[in-house]
Amino acid sequence: MTTLEYFRALALGLRQRKLSEDQVADLLRELQSHLQETGARPEDAFGSPKEYAERFPKGSTVSRGSKIGYLAAAVLMVLIGAKVFTGQVLGISLGFPGTLIYLGATVLLTFALVAWSNVLQRRLPERIAEDLSRRK
Amino acid sequence: MSDDPKWPSDWIRAVLAPCILQQVQTRNESYGYQIVQDLGARGLPGIGGGTVYPVLNRLEADGRVRSEWREGNGGPGRKFYSITPEGETWLSETSGAWQDFTARVAAILTMEGNPA
B22/chain A closest Cα distance in angstroms:
20
Chain B residues near residue A128 by CB distance under 8 angstroms? 76
- Residue in B50, B51, B75 nearest the CB of A36: B75
Band of pLDDT at residue A136, cut at 50, 70 and 90: low
pLDDT at B58 > cutoff 70: yes
* C-beta atoms of A56 and B54 within 8 A: yes
Sign of CA dihedral B52, A37, A2, A61: positive
B113/chain A closest Cα distance in angstroms:
43
The pLDDT of residue B72 is 75
* C-beta atoms of B61 and A33 within 8 A: no
Are A13 and A49 in contact, with CB atoms under 8 Å apart? yes
Are B47 and B40 in contact, with CB atoms under 8 Å apart? yes
Task: Report pLDDT digits (tens) over A66-119.
Answer: 999 999 999 999 999 998 898 888 888 888 899 899 999 999 999 999 999 999
pLDDT at B116 > cutoff 80: no
**In angstroms, rounded to a whole number, what is the distance separating the alpha carbons of residues A9 and A25?**
13
> For B49, what's the count of Cα atoms within 13 Å in the CB-facing half-sphere?
27
**In angstroms, rounded to a whole number, what is the distance separating the alpha carbons of residues A90 and A86?**
5
Cβ contacts of A106-111, under 8 Å, gap ≥ 24: A106/A75, A106/A76, A106/A79, A106/A80, A109/A75, A109/A79, A110/A72, A110/A75, A110/A76
Band of pLDDT at residue B64, cut at 50, 70 and 90: very high
> Which helix (H) or strand (E) covers residue A69, if one does?
helix A64-84
**In angstroms, rounded to a whole number, what is the distance separating the alpha carbons of residues B34 and B31?**
5
A129/chain B closest Cα distance in angstroms:
11
End-to-end CA distance of chain A: 13
* C-beta atoms of B75 and A27 within 8 A: no
Task: Report pLDDT digits (tens) over B29-56.
Answer: 999 999 999 999 998 888 889 999 999 9
Question: Which chain B residue's Cα is nearest to A128?
Answer: B76
* C-beta atoms of B32 and A27 within 8 A: no
End-to-end CA distance of chain B: 45
What's the pTM? 0.85
pLDDT at B112 > cutoff 90: no
pLDDT at B1 > cutoff 70: no
**In angstroms, rounded to a whole number, what is the distance separating the alpha carbons of residues B17 and A95?**
66
